[in-house]
Amino acid sequence: MPTGELAAQTLHELRDLIQAGRISADEVVADVLACIERSNPSMRAYLAVDAERIRRQAAQDGPLAGLPITIKDNICVSGEETTCASRILQGFRAPYDATVIARLRQQGARLIPRANMDEFAFGSSTENSAFGPTRNPWAMDRVPGGSSGGSAAAVAAGLAIAALGSDTGGSIRQPASFCGVVGLKPTYGRVSRYGLVAFASSLDQIGPLTKDVTDAALVLSAIAGHDTRDSTSAPLPVPDYLAALRGKVDGLRVGIPKEYLIEGIDPDVRQAIDAAIKACERLGMRTEPVSLPHTSYAVATYYIIATAEASSNLARYDGVKYGFRASTNGEGGLLEMYLRTRTDGFGAEPKRRILLGTYVLSHGYYDAYYLKGLKVRTLIKQDFDRAFERCDLLLTPTAPSPAFRIGEKLDDPLQMYLSDIFTISANLAGVPALSMPCGFTGAGLPVGLQLLAPPFKEDVLLRAAFAYEQATEWHRRKPAMTTG
Ligand code: GLN
């Protein structure tokens, strides 16, 4: 069998082949590792891969049948280095499994840790990785999106069967859209955050990046559910997401928020979204315009709340408990050690965010920025509550443009922040949202469609996405991985 033939397939296809006795899970793992060995040096979707350890992993029986799942480098896998692509965590080995990891293992999955990412998940391009950017498999001079860019690129290029990412403001959905794969951010509280290195604890969620909607349902079923170790995880039963795919979509009411179809969207993106709206209508969904009036405040609100929480969460990296410690001659004492460790250990973007976050929380500015940000967050949440009184789902572009060039937005943080303009609100409101391929630009870059649902309605989200996927062919296209 030629290298890459198994690695290109989905979890559910491989599971069926294994159950039919046609292939073994070991062959799948071997093929994925061969593809990583061949393409990772140029793509850098993974920070490092210990092939021997991965091959040796025992797998239990279960719905995931010994198949490998790729893990973003901010999710703890017991005994493995977990750096969040930051120098400050270099050498840190996770002392325990995150809850999602334990659940994947119980379902029979094997793990391929250490997908590349923006440092501490701060970014939209994976260029903020301290260990070099990931390249987009559809055009190697372009970014894969971020911060889960390694996970998305690996799935798109057949260097992974499926992957886990994390999403605080779009970090699963925006790279999914740039790489032409499916990415799902679950409802806040649907999936345990225990063992996810915290960025902004009130926004962070773990979710799947997969080759199709069926795999998204399969992985979500495995990782969702209440966990006593995460006090914000919801004590609700987990529906059978696979069974939910088959329900009918006829008559679903789909709102099209007018604030998301604005001037400045790339014309190819606009065209693909318009065509997707028509495709949904052909499936019997009823579309109607809706308004989310506070949308224009979302980016500013997010960068107040997310940086405030990040500055607090990053306070623990001081050279004492985790990873890297700068060497000092000891004369400056403990404070000097903290200062040198944080100066040398953090890259530019974490420093920017620590400064911003500390500022908005400081005495005298707390009310003007942080508290006001929380109030606007409530207004944004109420926009969604109101829209979902009339609609079952909302439909938007995932990002205003396709994948941009490496380096294009690096000197302009504000431009970078604006690439999340359509994904951030879902995190502020806590609602589930999914990105899936809905077309290509003239230059052959994937375009993503975003669907959003009311809290804990992932079943409806997946059902509509599955119906759209069945009616289209976008998810079947694979990158040729050309350079230039
Ligand atoms: N790009 C956004 C940021 O830089 C979102 C990142 C994320 O979701 N982790 O914060």
Place 483 in a pLDDT band, splitting at 50, 70 and 90.
Answer: very low
Judge contact between 309 and 203, C-beta under 8 A: yes
Of the three residues 375, 400, 416, the one that is the final residue of a domain is 375
Higher pLDDT, 104 or 60: 104
Is 422 within the bounds of a domain? no
- Same domain for 212 and 325: no
Phi, psi of 75 (to 5 degrees): -115, 125
User: Is 457 within a domain?
Assistant: yes
Residues 202 and 334 in one domain: no
* Active-site amino acid positions: 72, 147, 171
Cα distances (Å, whole numbers) of residue 433 to 187, 271, 308, 454, 456: 8, 21, 24, 9, 10
Ligand 1: list residues with CB < 6 Å.
121-124, 147, 167-171, 199, 306, 420
CA distance 352 to 271: 36
CA of 424 to the centre of ligand 1 (A): 8
Over 80: is that where the pLDDT of 388 sits? yes
State pLDDT tens for residues 241-267: 999 999 999 999 999 999 998 888 999
pLDDT digits (tens, 9 = 90+) for 212-246: 999 999 999 999 999 999 999 999 999 999 999 99
Q: How would you label 241-279 residue by residue, b for 16+ Cβ within 10 Å and e otherwise?
A: bbebbeeebeebebbbbebbbeeebbebbeebbeebbeb
* Dihedral angle, C-alpha 196, 198, 204, 205, nearest 10 °: 0
Residues 184 and 324 in one domain: no
CB 447 within 8 A of CB 397: yes
Closest CA to 106 of 51, 152, 75, 69: 69
What is the count of structural domains for the chain? 2
pLDDT of residue 412: 87
Distance between Cα 25 and ligand 1 center (Å): 34
How does residue 418 score in pLDDT terms, banded at 50, 70 and 90? confident
Share the mean pLDDT of the chain: 96
DSSP collapsed to 3 states, 409-476: CCCCHHHHHHCCCCCHHHHHHCCCEEEEEEEECCCCCEEEEEEECCCCCHHHHHHHHHHHHHHCCHHH
Residue 464 in domain: yes
User: What amino acid is encoded at 93 in this protein?
Assistant: R
Q: Domain residues for 461?
A: 11-248+453-483
Q: Report helix, strand or coil for 397.
A: strand
| Strands (DSSP E) found in 139-239 | 163-167, 182-185, 205-210
Question: With pLDDT > 70 as the criterion, what percentage of the chain qualifies?
Answer: 99
Residues 346 and 231 in one domain: no
Measured CA to CA, the distance from residue 285 to residue 251 in angstroms comes to 5
189 and 318 belong to one structural domain? no
> 219 in a domain, yes or no?
yes
Residue 60 has a pLDDT of 77
Same domain flag for 237 and 103:
yes
| Res 484: pLDDT | 34
What strands lie across the sheet with 253-257, from one edge to the other? 110-115, 68-72, 163-167, 205-210, 182-185, 433-440, 446-452, 393-397, 253-257, 286-290
Supply the pLDDT for residue 263: 82
% pLDDT > 90, the chain: 93
Crossing angle for the helix pair 11-19 and 25-43, to the nearest 10 degrees: 150
Give 112 Cα–ligand 1 centroid separation in angstroms.
23
Question: What DSSP designation does 401 have?
Answer: S
Assess whether 211 and 111 both reside in one domain.
yes
Among 331-340, 374-383, 406-415, the least confident range? 406-415
Amino acid in position 151: S
Among protein residues, the one whose CA lies closest to atom 10 of ligand 1: 122
**CATH code (residue 77):** 3.90.1300.10
Verify that 86 and 210 share a domain, yes or no: yes
Q: Which two tokens stand for residue 186?
A: 């679950």
Is 137 inside a domain boundary? yes
Residues 53 and 195 in one domain: yes
Residue 411 has pLDDT above 90, yes or no: no
Q: Does residue 418 belong to any structural domain of this protein?
A: no
Is residue 288 scored above 80 in pLDDT? yes
Residues 185 and 322 in one domain: no
Q: What tens digit of pLDDT does each residue of 90-103 get?
A: 999 999 999 999 99
Atom of ligand 1 nearest to the CA of 303: 10
| E strand segments, 314-429 | 393-397
Which pLDDT value is given to residue 53? 93
Q: What pLDDT sits at residue 417?
A: 84
- CA distance from start to end of the chain: 29
* pLDDT at 62 > cutoff 70: yes
Residue 482: per-residue pLDDT: 46
Asked, for residue 441, whether it belongs to a domain, the answer is no
Token look-up 């380096």 returns 407
- 199 with 307: CB under 8 angstroms? no
Give the residue-averaged pLDDT of 40-57: 96
442 falls within a domain: no
Q: Which of 354, 375, 396 is the last residue of a domain?
A: 375
CA 16, 192, 369: angle at the middle one, nearest 5? 135
Q: What is the mean pLDDT of residues 290-309?
A: 97
Shared-domain flag, residues 203 and 103: yes
Atom of ligand 1 minimally distant from the CA of 420? 1
Q: Which atom of ligand 1 is nearest to the CA of 199?
A: 9
Boundary (domain end) residue, out of 375, 397, 415? 375
Q: What is the pLDDT of residues 110-167, one digit of tens each?
A: 999 999 999 999 999 999 999 999 999 999 999 999 999 999 999 999 999 999 999 9
Q: 307-350: per-residue pLDDT in tens?
A: 999 999 999 999 999 999 999 888 889 999 999 999 999 999 99
Q: Do residues 84 and 133 make contact, with C-beta atoms less than 8 angstroms apart?
A: no
**Which of 117, 122, 303 for a ligand 1 pocket mutation test, highest count of atoms within 8 Å of Cβ?**
122
Phi, psi of 435 (to 5 degrees): -115, 140
Q: Is 468 in the same domain as 355? A: no
